[in-house]
Structure 1
């Protein structure tokens, strides 16, 4: 189960692709079983991995991108820290002040108040920050996305697009939220396994990531 879910969330694969890869190893699992495993274990693994993550940075970069769910446009709100690690993401129908405030409240429920918040120059962010007293002392920097000042968060959306295309779009909002949340945590887990650092250091990071994943799977099971 753990290996199947790791393949599914680590690489842009469909459930039928994972089924074939497991079959090559003489493991017979249907794509429907994989779907049920995702429904049952994805939320548990997401929380377990989140609690195992190191302390995150004090600079938040926020942005949202449109995602089709069941043919309806939704907005995927995402926040990363200055190191590129995903703090959290939330799928919502709107991109107004209430949606921004909801996302800020979710972030503040998990992390300490940041020192700086970077957003694009849109009114909804400033309005939401003014409505939350805990953020009144936080520096709010508005950047121009076209000037590549917000590249950190812009690049963070790329891993979402790959599985979205591979699965030919998302069908249900709740399933999409659960999938993307675990997908983000797995991306954080392997953040340092594909860089220009020395090969041995990269292998050590990969080994540590796999150990954390396996331990989380044992706890979830």
Structure 2
């Protein structure tokens, strides 16, 4: 792959970050992003957009992760089945009580070892929660009993139709939409990088919604300003 310096000389970083932001924020293909940019007089090929995403997605995701507030004492965890390159994988996700995605991990299995790996990642990044809400999967309970740091937490197991599952189920929606738009994921490493960036970009939008009153969010001026803030926040 070519070095990123030619892109920086030809295109301002604001255009690159806007193109990289569009792809995970909305269920668009590279050709859709190409057409949107062409409508604004920016001629760029879909191959270049793909290379931009490969090069800059991890950097932008890491930058946004450091800007997120470390809050929330209630975790909601869930896993969904997805196909990557024709092979079934399990997408493990955790959100807090505000709907902010804490972490997301693709794994081949849906067992105790996979649950332990995911929980260990979360504990290495965040403080120990007061409550963890999961479904009836036995792997969660076995892992929580094994980890000494989680012995005192309140583990709540809920059924899939329970209302407290809404937060985690809503967090899966952007991934499902993008999966349909791409006609399936193809490479596990690239898919993991894309999902990390998608989660951070979505968090930026959700975090603003939790602290701004509804009547202000409904104004056109506010929505336009917020759209610009989301684009600008990805500068690396």
TM-score, normalization: structure 1?
0.91
Residue of structure 2 in register with 1:175 after alignment:
190
Residue of structure 1 in register with 2:153 after alignment:
138
Residue of structure 2 in register with 1:207 after alignment:
225
Q: Deviations over 1:51-71 (max 9, x none)?
A: 101122110000000111011
1:134 alignment partner, SS class: helix
**What runs of 5+ residues in structure 2 fail to find an aligned partner?**
1-15
Aligned partners of 1:97 and 1:127 also within 8 Å:
yes
Bigger mean CA deviation after superposition, 30-39 or 163-172: 30-39
Residue of structure 2 in register with 1:31 after alignment:
46
Separation (CA, whole Å) in 2 of partners of 1:7 and 1:150: 28
> Which of 72, 79, 103 is the equivalent residue of 2:87?
72
**Aligned-pair CA distance for 1:196:** 8.2
2:125 alignment partner, SS class: coil
Aligned partners of 2:205 and 2:230 also within 8 Å:
no
Residue of structure 1 in register with 2:28 after alignment:
13
Separation (CA, whole Å) in 2 of partners of 1:206 and 1:156: 24
Separation (CA, whole Å) in 2 of partners of 1:101 and 1:179: 23
> Which of 113, 116, 137 is the equivalent residue of 1:122?
137
Distance 1:131 1:211, change over 3 A: same
**Aligned-pair CA distance for 1:216:** 3.3
**Aligned-pair CA distance for 1:208:** 5.2
1:64 alignment partner, SS class: strand
Residue of structure 1 in register with 2:215 after alignment:
198
Residue 97 in structure 1 maps to residue 143 in structure 2: no
Aligned partners of 1:70 and 1:172 also within 8 Å:
yes
Aligned partners of 1:189 and 1:209 also within 8 Å:
no
TM-score, normalization: structure 2?
0.86
Separation (CA, whole Å) in 2 of partners of 1:120 and 1:185: 24
Bigger mean CA deviation after superposition, 148-157 or 104-113: 148-157
Distance 1:81 1:33, change over 3 A: same
Q: Deviations over 1:70-109 (max 9, x none)?
A: 1111010000111111111001111101100111011111
Bigger mean CA deviation after superposition, 12-21 or 141-150: 141-150
Aligned partners of 2:136 and 2:159 also within 8 Å:
yes
What's the C-alpha RMSD, in Å, of the aligned pairs? 2.1
Aligned length: 218
